[in-house]
Structures are given as structure tokens and as C-alpha cells.
Amino acid sequence: MITTQIENRVLSICFDRADKKNAITNEMYLAAEKALLDSADNSDVRVVLFNGAGGDFTSGNDLVDFIKNPPKDDMPPVLRFLLALARYPKPVVAAVNGLAVGIGTTMLAHCDYVVAAENARFKLPFVDLGVCPEGGSSLLFPQVMGHSLAAELLMLADVFGSAKANQAGLLNEVVAADEVMPLAQKVASKLAAKAPNAIRTTKAMLKKSYLEQLEARITEEIHSFAALLNGPEAQEALTAFMEKRQPDFSNF
Ligand code: COA
């Protein structure tokens, strides 16, 4: 589930499903979207802080949900969440401990300040699942980190650490695991104390030249993702996950 809390004008949104490494279900995407939409015009909230329960950020989209509840229409929950995040008008901070897989990594490119643990692990497993990148990463990653690193991370899909995520431009600070949340809270409080209209205008200006393009790409990616999810490569990858084995793409 998603748990939320407002304290000192900071809205914490926590991926709170530790027994499944905080894998995100459709229900959780909708709850997170609602938290973002509800807080956008709420003057009690000046900053959002994303974090995860139980020592991990998130293991990404719930793979069982992919099988049971694949995207059915043009506006599936994951797309609604991503668009709400991309359009969110106030600063977004992320506190990343442990695993940040799939959308757990791509959503960092939408955050304004990311604190990660030295031992955090990132992974963009899309191709290994027979699908394509999401979260606007096919647009944002080459811009932020250059084509070669974006291609490496998105095509090889290997696990990488905070040093590489930092080199890729996804992080602001790398600290010891137990310092992640305190530092993220400190940064969020600092941002929450600043002139709110000045901050909102600054964020709007920072994104003005590419937001429209980003929204279109996020939407296109999810539609391609959904189409691939119905295909044989994804079916093999998801079956392999359920059977706790490596996928075999040799026959495609
Ligand atoms: N969706 C659904 N369940 C997930 C999940 C996910 N994305 N990630 C982890 N889980 C579940 C596991 O199935 C396991 O459930 P079980 O205890 O009922 O068997 C539990 O969470 C713990 O995961 P486990 O695999 O035992 O932990 P680990 O530390 O060995 O490995 C991961 C963690 C994240 C590396 C591994 O679980 C994994 O690769 N998950 C899939 C990640 C993924 O592809 N996400 C989709 C991105 S689009």
C-alpha cells in the first residue's frame, strides 16, 4: 500500500509493502496519483518526499499485477501516476535506500532532489522483461547522461550502484544508509520554508522547454510497453519470474 503523512508542510509518500520489496500495484499507483493531485493545490503541502518501507525504495511495477491486471485502456494507473508526477508543480525529493528497480529508478529523473544510500542498487530491467522503458526515461536519460550511458543502463539492464547512478546525473547526494532519510527530510524542510510561489515558478521554468514533449513520450512509452506486455517475449519473461528461473529468448 501507499502511506502518506503531512508534517511541517512536507507530504511523505511511502511505498509501503516491504514483504514484496515495495512492488507497486495498480491500486498503489492510483493512491500515489491521488496524493499528488490532492496536494498540488493544498497550501499545507509545499514539498513531496518519496520513500520506501523496510529498507528498500521499490522493486518497481508488481509483476504479478502485470499478469493479472495488464493495462486495459489508454490511461492505465501507471500512466496516470507518471503524468501526475511529471506535472507536479512543487518540489519532489526522494530518499532511496536498498533497491530502486524499474520505475523506482526512472521516477528519480522527475525528482528535484534525490538522496541515495551508498549501498543502494538500481536496475532498469525493461528489456529483460520483454518490454520497453517507461517514465519518460527514453527522453530524459539521454539528455541527462548522454546516449551511451543511457543505452548501457536501458539495454544491458544490469544492476548498478550509487556511484554510477550519481555519474548518470540521477542523484544529488550519496550518503550512508542511515543518513538517507534524515538528509532527505532536512532538504525537504529547507525547500518547504522557501517562498512557495517563487519555488513553483522556478520549477515550472525549469521544465517549460520540455514538459509537453515529456508528457507525450511518457504516454507513448506506456502504450508501447502495454503492447509489448501482450507479446511472447514478455510472456516468457513473466513466466520465468513466476517460475523463479532466467527467461529464455533464444527462440524469438
Ligand atoms: N513484483 C512482484 N513481486 C515482487 C517484485 C515485483 N516487482 N519484486 C519482488 N517481489 C516479491 C518476490 O516475488 C518475493 O515474493 P515471495 O516472498 O512471495 O516469493 C518477495 O518480493 C521478495 O523478493 P525476492 O526476489 O525474494 O528478493 P531478492 O532480494 O532476492 O530480489 C529483486 C529482489 C527485486 C532483485 C527481485 O525480486 C526481482 O528481480 N524482482 C522483480 C523486479 C522487476 O522486474 N520489477 C519490474 C520492473 S518494470
Which of 6, 101, 115, 108 is closest to 56 using CA atoms?
A: 101
pLDDT, one tens digit per residue, over 42-65 is 999 999 999 999 999 999 999 999
pLDDT, one tens digit per residue, over 196-245 is 999 999 999 999 999 999 999 999 999 999 999 999 999 999 999 999 99
CA 250 to each of CA 231, 233, 247: distance values in angstroms, whole numbers, following the listed order = 15, 10, 9
The reply to whether ligand 1 has any atom less than 6 angstroms from the CB of 240 is no
The secondary structure of the chain in percent helix, strand, coil, rounded to multiples of 5, reads: 50, 15, 30
Q: What is the pLDDT of residue 66?
A: 87
Report the alpha-carbon distance of residue 23 to residue 15 in Å, rounded. 8
pTM above 0.95, yes or no: yes
* 49 in Cβ contact with 94 (< 8 Å): yes
* 100 in Cβ contact with 22 (< 8 Å): no
If you take atom 38 of ligand 1, which residue's CA is the nearest one?
59
What is the Å distance from ligand 1's center to 20 Cα? 6
pLDDT of 166 strictly over 90: yes
What is the Å distance from ligand 1's center to 194 Cα? 39
Report the alpha-carbon distance of residue 188 to residue 196 in Å, rounded. 13
- Tell me, what amino acid is at 155? M
The atom number, within ligand 1, closest to the CA of 131 reads: 48
Instruction: Name the pLDDT band for 161 (thresholds 50, 70, 90).
Output: very high
